[in-house]
Amino acid sequence: MFFTLLRLLVIVSAATLIPSIGHANPIRETAENDFLDLVDGEGNVLVQGQGAADVNRKARSQGLTFPALGYWSPEGHCFVEPAPGDCNGVFKR
């Protein structure tokens, strides 16, 4: 009985935590090296735009999967409104 409850607890915990692993923080940019690793990932698509909102709009128009895996810009302004320059986002196909 104890092991059945323990197994159930592990399954519920995993089901709750696993979907949150690897998702982009919607208000922070990904570190450059981590972002470049995402760009090279199989089935990942790079989308560029003026700020994260424009990147998301373009990704939706391409039918890409949300949430984004990560955002990055050389100047660190993906989440500045209004966006002063280019932002990059990586999404799953």
pLDDT in tens, 43-85: 999 999 999 999 999 999 999 999 999 999 999 999 999 999 9
Evaluate whether residue 36 is within a structural domain: yes
Supply the pTM of this predicted model: 0.72
pLDDT at 24 over 60: no
pLDDT band at residue 17 using 50, 70 and 90 as cut-offs: very low
Evaluate whether residue 12 is within a structural domain: no
Q: What pLDDT, on a 0 to 100 scale, did the predictor assign at position 18?
A: 42
Domain count, the chain: 1
Name the more confident of 26 and 66: 66
Evaluate whether residue 18 is within a structural domain: no
Instruction: Report which of 91, 81, 86 is spatially closest to residue 39, judged by C-alpha positions.
Output: 91
Q: Give residue 44's domain range.
A: 23-92
Evaluate whether residue 7 is within a structural domain: no
Counting residues of the chain whose pLDDT is more than 90, the rounded percentage is 69
pLDDT band at residue 11 using 50, 70 and 90 as cut-offs: low
Evaluate whether residue 38 is within a structural domain: yes
